[in-house]
Structure 1
Amino acid sequence: MPAVAGLSINAVHHTINMVFVGMIGSQEIAAITIVLPILMMVGAIGEGLGVGVATAVSRALGGGDPRHANVTASTLFMLAIPVGLALTAAILLFRRELLILFGASEPMLPLAEHYLAIVAFSVTLTMLQILSDFIAISEGNTRFSMWTLLGCFALNIVLDPILIFWFGFGLAGAAIATILSQIAALVAYLVYFHRRVGTLHIAARFVAFRTDVLKPVLLIGLPVSLTSMLSSASFAVLFTFAGFYRGDSGIAGIGIALRVLTLGMLPIIGLSLGGQAVLSFAWGARNSQRLLAASGILIKLTSAFAFLYGLGVVLLRHRVAAVFTADPAIADIAALTLVITHIPFIFFGARQILLVLLQAQGRARLAASIGVAQNGYFLLPLLFILPHWFGFGGVLASLFIAPVLTALLSSALLAVILRQLRGRSPSSSITSFNSTVSERTS
């Protein structure tokens, strides 16, 4: 539950950021919406490394090997620094080309370029903060992650109006506020690791760029990163078509709906992250009964939340849209998109737990095939077909059909895996079960 609270706080943080930006103007909302896929690509790399580290560390702890857990966590933490610096340099060098590729219009381009140039300097901080969160969660210390994110959120909310309005920095003020709050969060984590508050110890002497350390992390992490990168590419195509048919209003309206959708997704992801430590530990300890019991609880909790959140957003769509903008054209598009995106959202919980269950078992390929489904081989083809026939309505239809198809695929696979888990006898080996499920699902 602290992981849920922590990521929920993070979602509220970014949502309120957008509310403050909306007070400046509609073009500013469109500008940060265009920058969003680029930041998602950065986050995708951090997320992939984080998921890989969390899974590997939890399995090592479950298998009674804390030293290997320390080596894995320390190695990937240090690896994030040069990766982050390289990404910052790439964004600064090619930011204009990236924004044009992602659908920025001429009036919006200067705003988006200025905003992206500032947030580019936060890339390494973002990578390190994501990894720190995952490492703390992997050893079960979700409370520290929660309080750190809460402090980061509170600082950002205080700084936003000061830098945006009082100092008159505008959109740049929102970017600077985010960077300062990230620095504060990272300082808290450095203290956490230095004083060894948790079980793990992050230190330079544990760093080992060996195959046995990197391979398990990358096998799980790379598919997660590629999935998120493909999602950001899909959003770039989505915003391009939205801008083509409805201009900046279309981009801003869909951007608002996706922010609200993220607000609902992150608590579910938070619960699955907390659960991932349990599932991975159970897999490492070969405790299949606990694996099944924890999976069942997670599916029930996430599905119930997804249903209630989706229903609430659909019923209150006009009020939710009005929070972000006073422009009637943008608000109408946002309200309609909220309905389209939140009806299929009720299946997101089961899909997310399926992904975590597969990652805990080390089944990277199957996890990748599910993770990439919605925004990959479902959404992208739909975006290239339906808008050609139905215009902006085709864009919105694609946003609805892709998650529905993903839900059907995920539900079928989850049913197979849970049936096999229930059919196992307590004396059966978990390795035998893995082989059986692989044969069935292939």
Structure 2
Amino acid sequence: MVELRFHGTGDGHPATLGDLIHTVTTGELPMRITAFDGTDVGPQDSPVRIEVKNRRGLDYLLTAPGDLGIARAYLMGDLEVYGIHPGNPYQAFQLLKSGVSTRRPKAREIADLAKGFELHKLRTPPLPAQEAPARWRRRLETKVPATSKLRAARAISHHYDVSNAFYEKVLGPSMAYTCAVYASDADTLEQAQERKFDLVAQKLALKPGMRLLDVGCGWGGMVRHAVKHYGVTAIGVTLSKEQASWASAAIERDGLSDHAEVRHLDYRDVPEADFDAISSIGLTEHIGVRNYPAYFGYLHGKLAEGGRLLNHCITRADNKAGARPEPFTDRYVFPDGELGSPSQVIGACHDAGFEVQHDENLRLHYAKTLAAWCQNLQDSWDFCVDEAGEGTAKVWGLYMAGSQFSFEANWLQLHQVLATKVGPEGQSSYPWRPDWDPSPSVS
């Protein structure tokens, strides 16, 4: 490794971004990085180039090292990424996450950098409008814990009450913001989303006349599919006013109002009980790992004996990482969200009284789903920017492309857990073998 010699940090000259990069990385950089201070490192012929345009952009990187500082500078226009589309920056994540080797600087190097950057004078620049406060500040501002219904409603609103028109472009006609299920590479996103809803319906063994509760129902896709194709009566609940409004209009448009309903309501406030089936598609991520016991206990109490629960959620790949998301995701995407491991989900489900019958990992299906959403955002970029603002559109591009890479790298997984409510003496209505088609056909 080449010994670093800063531009005279010992004699009063400032350090550069290039000094910082060389101090914390080893080997060849996978992309070219330039900056206002003369920095020009990495391969000159790289298809992707990052430029830090001014001192404020550097200050973002110095005050929040890692993904959060990069995102702040990018969203504020002080950092530009050339060679990628802002709606689909997947290639940049590939290069950064899989091609940069980091090292821990020595104490002397840290001291030189601190002096060269005059860190004693450093102040955090203004934050992007899309950024939520840190967790500790959110608790102080609301004066309530993350488990409260008020805090849950605010977190859901931050993510989902952006613009229904924006989501229509990104998600497509299905308006399904959860992992689709592909039978082959040839499937379209819409076919895969319909297959997902049908797989959930079959795992729940839905039949005409049954009653379904869909918690965290989003824009009502599962509710409408179950009523239309399986003849059930379904109630969906969501904490997003925008989702509930859109879903209610879609139910009326499809002529399903006699058997389908979506309410703007916390799932814990549903008064009905003895449902034959419960679907939870993408809600567990918002619950918090410590609240898994209460969550699964509540759903267990809402099911009739012999009823089935299908819990579909993002998980960590193992128990080694903490449950809290990275700072960027926590501040910009899912405030108060947490991701447990598959074993934590299944364990809490068992402890609540359920008997887990089946678990399926759809990790690569979610990577393909996210790639389709990124392409939709790229294709509809001008509309999405006009509708939600460039900053918000950039956030969603970063989040979805980064998530695609995370699922491909097996940092994240997507598990569907099917469980049943057994009788007081252990009675089970579950058949000897699974009674669903593992890859249902779609029209």
Check whether TM > 0.5.
Answer: no
The TM-score, its normalising length taken from structure 2, stands at: 0.24
Larger Rg: 2
Bigger strand fraction: 2
The TM-score, its normalising length taken from structure 1, stands at: 0.24
For CA contacts below 8 A with separation 6 or more, give which structure has more relative contact order: 1
